[in-house]
Structure 1
Amino acid sequence: MSSAQFTGILAAAVTPLTADGSAIDEPGVARQVEHIIGGGIHGLVPGGSTGEFTTLTVDERKRGTELYLEAAAGRVPVVAGTGALSTAETIELSVHAAKAGAAAVMVVPPFYDAPSFAELLTHYSAVADAVDVPVMYYNLPSATGVQLTPEQFGELGRRAGVTSYKDTGGDFPEFTSVQFDHADAITALNGWDTLTFAALAGGAKAGVWGTASVIPRQCAELYDALAVRGDLEAGRALWATIFPVCRFLESHNYASAIKTGLELVGVPAGPPRRPVLPLAPH
């Protein structure tokens, strides 16, 4: 296990599928990467919720990671989503991602039978011991049933080798508490779209953001305004145009909404994989 600090916006990326949803659209991955990196985004996170990982086979997940790494070609860091229901499968996916060249792995807690904190420490310690890249905790309590305190986030860093966490919990006071009280142990990255402005204005150095896959240029500009230049007025003007997009995406099945957005901006990624259906036209 090693540590690293991420800065900027990392785009939560889709898994492009063929028209019938039966396979990964391999050339489609390259199109997504060029769209995102060309828009000035600082990193890629394939294989997470936006990437519909729960509907992919293990082989598809590995291939998706490989394709994103090949297309990125070292231009930006790629953080591979490798969470699974068992420690053994999580390690298998994480080791594969690290060997393929991922800058880090993002691991969601096992999400069927919510593990205790002691079990989480054992699980993440085993993953961190198995790879020589940083481990990012994916905080997604609505899907996992795991709700940690700020102190427990700190413990994950100190005792389990977790270097950062993507917060898709939506509890901003908790997020801020981790930032202020446990920054020595774990780095908090925002992962809740509609809280992006608040997180960056509050000092977050990075975020994992699905909207950045759809409108990368605007998202990169927001980061530059708030986190780099400290220009609150410019940030507010950008946020007034970005926030409605974020709110829309969060009000639907997220992966399906992102794919709809990609269709609208001219970078289609195919349908979501069933049982999820495409958004109904209005």
Structure 2
Amino acid sequence: MSFPRGIIPAMLTAYTADGDVDVDATKAFAEWLIGKGVHGLSPTGSTGEGAAMTDDERLVVIKATIEQAAGRVPVYAGIIHYSTKLAIKLATSAMDAGADGVMVLLPFYYGPTIPSAMDHLRAVSHAIGQPIMVYNNPWFAGFELSPEQVRTLVDEGVVNSIKAAHGDPMRVNYLKYLCGDKITALYGHDYAPLEAFAAGGDGWLSGFPNVVPDLAVELFDAVHNKADLTLAQSIWARIAPLGYYFMYERTGPNAAPHWLTVFKEMLRLLGEDIGMPRLPAVEMTPDERAVLRKYVAMVYPEQVAAD
């Protein structure tokens, strides 16, 4: 697998009003993202609702994304399975369909031992015959690999990239410290990509690039290609209202409205309607929608008028 770099949206999946995968709308959304200059696409991960699909549906989405990308940007398919056998089956099917690589979530739910989780990643890598991207997400898996454990897999040739989804940009910093250019460390959360880039992060793979792909690309370019921190800070200042919304406007132990609903509503406000998430995620209330609209209008005032 090539070294993933740059802005790679954790691509949302389009659904019909009946909750079925909408292939045409998924392709159109992939095209919209490519047109905004993103450097890759990662379907069927967490933001893509991979955990809410059958494997047949996942492959439909993966194939649709690959077909639309048509080699213009790489496609890294999300693999979400506890079972090593099922993860291997899905990963090999994705590669057979033409994916450039796979992003493998740590085996979740049952709390496997760290050695067995590392063996899970080794087995997938061996099955597809190339290194993988490890999806290091303690919020969904219940644990994460340490930088030292990741380095072990990098040195073995099992892993060449990581989505560091904890949120703390220092995860990216220490992965680069230990592994250097043998790994690309992608910031995998939505709140501190600027800090991660400044610490040496090689890209941003998360939900926000779905809704601010153009600004995300500008932010990456400002740091990596122009080495212009002042410019990068000004770009992040424009994105920051959406980060503030996620951090402080959504409330409760299971913050409402649901983050998948929020992303899709943001896109709807920007004229890119790809349907609702699958149940149990529900639509926003009118009051919730009005609050969100205010924040999206701060970022894209030319497209969304505040009420």
Q: TM-score, normalised by structure 2?
A: 0.86
Q: 1:133-148, aligned counterparts within 5 Å?
A: 133-148=130-145
What amino acid is the match of 2:281? V
Match of 2:277 among 237, 257, 272: 272
Deviations 1:78-116 (A, max 9, x none): 000012120011001100111111111001012111111
Deviations 1:15-70 (A, max 9, x none): 1000121x101110121112101111111011011101111111101111001111
Deviation at 1:234, TM superposition (A): 1.1
Quick check: 1:262 aligned with 2:267?
yes
What amino acid is the match of 1:31? A
What amino acid is the match of 1:42? H
Match of 1:8 among 3, 6, 9: 6
Q: 1:106-121, aligned counterparts within 5 Å?
A: 106-121=103-118
Contact 1:154 1:182 in 2 (8 A): yes
Change in Cα spacing, 1:24 to 1:241, as seen in structure 2 (3 Å) is same
RMSD value over aligned CA atoms? 1.6
Contact 1:121 1:159 in 2 (8 A): no
Per the alignment, residue 28 of structure 2 pairs with 31
What amino acid is the match of 1:130? A
Contact 2:29 2:272 in 1 (8 A): yes
Deviation at 1:267, TM superposition (A): 0.8
Distance 1:155 1:186 in 2: 12
Q: TM-score, normalised by structure 1?
A: 0.94
Deviations 1:202-228 (A, max 9, x none): 221222132111121111111111111
- The range that moved more, 201-210 or 265-274, is 201-210
What amino acid is the match of 2:6? G
Per the alignment, residue 227 of structure 2 pairs with 230
What amino acid is the match of 2:27? A
Match of 1:240 among 237, 240, 258: 237
SS at 1:200 equivalent: helix
Deviation at 1:170, TM superposition (A): 1.6
Contact 2:169 2:193 in 1 (8 A): no
Could you say which structure has the larger radius of gyration? 2
- The range that moved more, 97-106 or 242-251, is 242-251
Percent of paired sites with the same residue: 37
Gap regions ≥5 residues in structure 2: 251-256, 288-307
Deviation at 1:120, TM superposition (A): 1.3
Deviation at 1:184, TM superposition (A): 5.3
Change in Cα spacing, 1:30 to 1:151, as seen in structure 2 (3 Å) is same
Per the alignment, residue 16 of structure 2 pairs with 18
Distance 2:212 2:281 in 1: 23
SS at 1:71 equivalent: helix
Contact 2:76 2:103 in 1 (8 A): yes
